[in-house]
Structure 1
Amino acid sequence: MKQYNFNKNFTDFRKNLNLAEQDKLSLTDARKIIRSTIRVTFNEMPEKYFTDNVQIVLTEFSKGSDKRIKPKFRTQGSFVYNTINKPENPPIQRMDLDDGVYLPLSYTDNTSDNFQQSAKIVKNIISNCVSDLCNDKGWTLETNHSKCLRIIINPTSHIDLPIYSIPDDQSNTIQQDSAEFSRMEGLERVLSYNKAEDVLLAIDNGWIKSDPRDIEDWVKDTKDRFNDFIYYSRYFKAWKDHQWNESKFSSIMIMAGISQAMSEIGYSKNDNVALNLSSIATSLKLYLNNAGINHPVKTERMDGDLSNKDEIINRLDDLAMNLFTATKTNNTQLLIDCFGDRFPNDTGNVLNTGVVAPAIITSSEPIRQSRSDFI
């Protein structure tokens, strides 16, 4: 039986998902303006946004001689991982750039009432100053996200601002990253650091322990182990965006599931990309049906709160089946149905005349039999 591969189609598909240079420039130019606005607010004109009561609270945690907090910045997320895709359905879906705002603070007890209160204070200060900026630029500020502020730049893109505190004696770890940023690409430009020990994220009612560099380390390690990890993540993200305008089946959850599948003892990579993706889709379905998708840096499952889990499992079933069937029938439409019109409508190439055999994943967990369980 002939076996067809669509490796070139997937390569061209990836190119169709790439951001245009103007899109990247729009995001990075906006990031530069936002950073400058926040720096000026804290360093040059605090009197505009700092009431006397706010100043009293923040002075307690400001170690410098001028008692001013000097923000630092660090980009994180898909823009750094190189997993960002052009959105299929804007403005519901948008390109996003996550730019962490790091505030060097001096404290000995991060559970004190005053310190917990400082999270709300700094979040309000930054919200107020970027609100004025948004009014000037015609952007839109969203403050209803518990873990970040969101600035909508245009219908296709937004910038998220998670706000962190970092011990002031460890703030050089952020400064070093900023210096390296302009000379390096992707993950490499942010992974050169000495890990800070106590990075906290501002939420609505205080600080919680959260260091995005834990995820960055994991992405870098997984990428080093599996060369196709980033590419496969982009394909599955594009599949998700074609299937749903909005979904709680998050990008990081998808990436964790892909890593979990590729790390299985029985995983054997095939030269046929469609067969690899079919096998991984089957594994994702298996995880959702049983023990779950494991968090990459925490000891917990990520999919416990998925409200439409059965629907996701069914569509993963369809994805696995279509990918596998396309390699036998050379039917590109099966792949377009899964990934959308951005997937090239070109016929596949004959790979060989042997038996079609997908990458194999074995598991100690029981597999729910269905029409896509080919193995």
Structure 2
Amino acid sequence: MLKFSKLFFHSGIDADAFESRIRPDMEQRRYLRTCVRKIENHLKLKISLATKTVLGMDHSVTPRFRTQGSWSYDTCVVPATTPPQEMDWDFGVYLPVTVWEENGPPHAMAKAYFVLVEQLLEDLCDDEDWTLLPGKDTCIRIKVSPWAHIDVPLYAAPEGKFEKITESVALAKAGTYDSAGMESIDFTEAIETRQQWADLDCVVMATRKGEWKPSDPEVIANWFKDRVEEHGPQLRRVCRYLKAWRDHHWQQGGPTSVSIMIAVTQTFEPRVGRDDRALEDAARRLSRAFLGEIRELGIDDGAEDFNRLLEPDREAAAQRFGRLAAELRQSRESALHEKDAVLALLRKQFGGRLPMDSACVELDGDSDAIRSTPALQVAAPVIPSTKAG
């Protein structure tokens, strides 16, 4: 039997594995971080000035901003095919609202809020030579590069709830913090990431149609963070592998990133030092999960089905996950002299970003040790004579 975990992940300064090839590089991270900072700087003062004159509040308030989605989960991967695939960064705008009715802010404010922010971002796009992409109902999309876009969803929460967030940030700034290793975010954002916004329990999202919808992206983020703390970083890596695998097989459509992440996490079992085995296990379970609904009691009590695929597409996705699991197992059960065939099979599943490095395909030490251990001669037991009766 073989092991090929090093094809997917191995540590070291010169590590060249699938995991390092599918993660955004430093230049991409810096560029997108610069873009979201420009969005924040452009919107903060202008929204604050408009809260009385446009949104009808009794006094001005300052919006807050938060990175969410795959950049918050740290599961973002570089697309396999660009175009049509693009890297995306979700950057939420949170408006402290002074008037809160039974189900949210005043109804008319939703449309005014969406129109206001879209107009402000259109001005920024003209200045930066970006492209505003109209039509999204739940966010404003800005194409900032041929390979990336930024989605700006618009949220609101009661003004009083934000006071506790301010206190949390102040406490974090007053304490010590080791920012070593925070390669994708700076010190200020690291502080923001630490505090959980747990007091925002009345979050609603504005839509293009002028509606307020209950929506709290932090519920998923906090649930996933807890699971990573429980299982370790291998869980996050396996989610990345499967997202990159999805992009290789579906240039458009396919299972959503969040559905893959939730389905993997629900039944994840760590395999110490064996990302290949953990990936095989996850693919096998996903072949069953995507046949039906994907709900999680730890996320809004299981109210949402995260499997957005229609029935025929669910069956097709389940079959592909099943084929992946079967071919990972077939590769693992191959002989050492078949390593070139194993590499070819794995690269067919994951694409050319999987290293063509036969040195990373090795004998499975545990199973090989058992097979190579010679049988021991055991002395026959002494059986005393007995008498019947």
Q: 1:190 to 1:76 in 2, by over 3 A?
A: farther
Quote the residue 1:118 is aligned against: 109
Render the CA deviation track for 1:76-131: whole Å, top value 9, x for unaligned.
Answer: 1111221111111113211111111011102231447x712211111100000100
Quote the residue 2:152 is aligned against: 161
Deviation larger for 103-112 or 327-336:
103-112
Tell me the CA shift for residue 168 of structure 1.
0.5
Letter in 2 for 1:341: G
State whether residues 294 and 301 of structure 1, in contact with CA within 8 Å, keep that contact through their aligned partners in structure 2.
yes
Q: Secondary structure at the match of 1:37?
A: helix
Q: Does 1:301 align with 2:301?
A: no
Tell me the CA shift for residue 35 of structure 1.
0.9
Aligned length: 335
Quote the residue 1:142 is aligned against: 133
Quote the residue 1:337 is aligned against: 348
Q: Secondary structure at the match of 1:87?
A: coil
Out of 44, 59, 64, the residue aligned to residue 39 of structure 1 is 44
Out of 18, 25, 30, the residue aligned to residue 25 of structure 1 is 30
Render the CA deviation track for 1:283-336: whole Å, top value 9, x for unaligned.
Answer: 1111223x4322451324322643511221121121111111111223111111
Letter in 2 for 1:339: F
Q: Does 1:172 align with 2:163?
A: yes
Q: Does 1:199 align with 2:203?
A: yes
Quote the residue 2:95 is aligned against: 103
Tell me the CA shift for residue 178 of structure 1.
6.5
Render the CA deviation track for 1:169-198: whole Å, top value 9, x for unaligned.
Answer: 112355467776743787982444442121
CA distance in 2: counterparts of 1:186 and 1:268, whole angstroms: 27
Quote the residue 1:93 is aligned against: 85
**Structure 1 length-normalised TM:** 0.82
Letter in 2 for 1:337: K
State whether residues 81 and 187 of structure 1, in contact with CA within 8 Å, keep that contact through their aligned partners in structure 2.
no
CA distance in 1: counterparts of 2:146 and 2:41, whole angstroms: 23
Q: Secondary structure at the match of 1:141?
A: strand
Quote the residue 1:371 is aligned against: none
CA distance in 2: counterparts of 1:215 and 1:34, whole angstroms: 24
Letter in 2 for 1:352: G
Q: 1:235 to 1:22 in 2, by over 3 A?
A: same
Tell me the CA shift for residue 163 of structure 1.
0.5
Q: Does 1:254 align with 2:246?
A: no
Quote the residue 2:217 is aligned against: 212
Give the structure with higher Rg (CA): 2
CA distance in 1: counterparts of 2:122 and 2:169, whole angstroms: 25
Q: Does 1:4 align with 2:2?
A: yes
State whether residues 287 and 320 of structure 2, in contact with CA within 8 Å, keep that contact through their aligned partners in structure 1.
no
State whether residues 220 and 299 of structure 2, in contact with CA within 8 Å, keep that contact through their aligned partners in structure 1.
yes
Tell me the CA shift for residue 254 of structure 1.
0.1
Q: Does 1:346 align with 2:362?
A: no
Q: Secondary structure at the match of 2:75?
A: coil
State whether residues 255 and 308 of structure 2, in contact with CA within 8 Å, keep that contact through their aligned partners in structure 1.
no
Out of 223, 247, 256, the residue aligned to residue 228 of structure 2 is 223
State whether residues 191 and 216 of structure 1, in contact with CA within 8 Å, keep that contact through their aligned partners in structure 2.
no
Q: Secondary structure at the match of 2:294?
A: coil
State whether residues 248 and 306 of structure 1, in contact with CA within 8 Å, keep that contact through their aligned partners in structure 2.
no
Q: Secondary structure at the match of 2:333?
A: helix
Letter in 2 for 1:144: G
CA distance in 1: counterparts of 2:79 and 2:169, whole angstroms: 28
Tell me the CA shift for residue 234 of structure 1.
0.2
State whether residues 165 and 199 of structure 2, in contact with CA within 8 Å, keep that contact through their aligned partners in structure 1.
no
Render the CA deviation track for 1:5-33: whole Å, top value 9, x for unaligned.
Answer: 11111011100012121111111111111
Tell me the CA shift for residue 270 of structure 1.
6.3
Tell me the CA shift for residue 132 of structure 1.
1.1
CA distance in 2: counterparts of 1:304 and 1:95, whole angstroms: 20
Q: Secondary structure at the match of 2:327?
A: helix
1:239-278 to 2 correspondences below 5 Å: 239-262=245-268, 269=271, 271-278=273-280
Letter in 1 for 2:356: N
**Structure 2 length-normalised TM:** 0.79
Deviation larger for 192-201 or 142-151:
192-201
Q: Secondary structure at the match of 1:86?
A: coil
Render the CA deviation track for 1:235-257: whole Å, top value 9, x for unaligned.
Answer: 00000000011124111100111
State whether residues 292 and 303 of structure 1, in contact with CA within 8 Å, keep that contact through their aligned partners in structure 2.
yes
State whether residues 84 and 251 of structure 2, in contact with CA within 8 Å, keep that contact through their aligned partners in structure 1.
yes
Q: 1:305 to 1:17 in 2, by over 3 A?
A: closer
Q: 1:301 to 1:139 in 2, by over 3 A?
A: same
Tell me the CA shift for residue 209 of structure 1.
1.1
Deviation larger for 79-88 or 188-197:
188-197
Q: Does 1:69 align with 2:80?
A: no
Quote the residue 1:14 is aligned against: 19
Quote the residue 2:178 is aligned against: none
CA distance in 2: counterparts of 1:76 and 1:268, whole angstroms: 26
Letter in 1 for 2:357: D
Quote the residue 1:327 is aligned against: 332
CA distance in 2: counterparts of 1:75 and 1:305, whole angstroms: 26
CA distance in 2: counterparts of 1:177 and 1:251, whole angstroms: 30
RMSD: 2.6
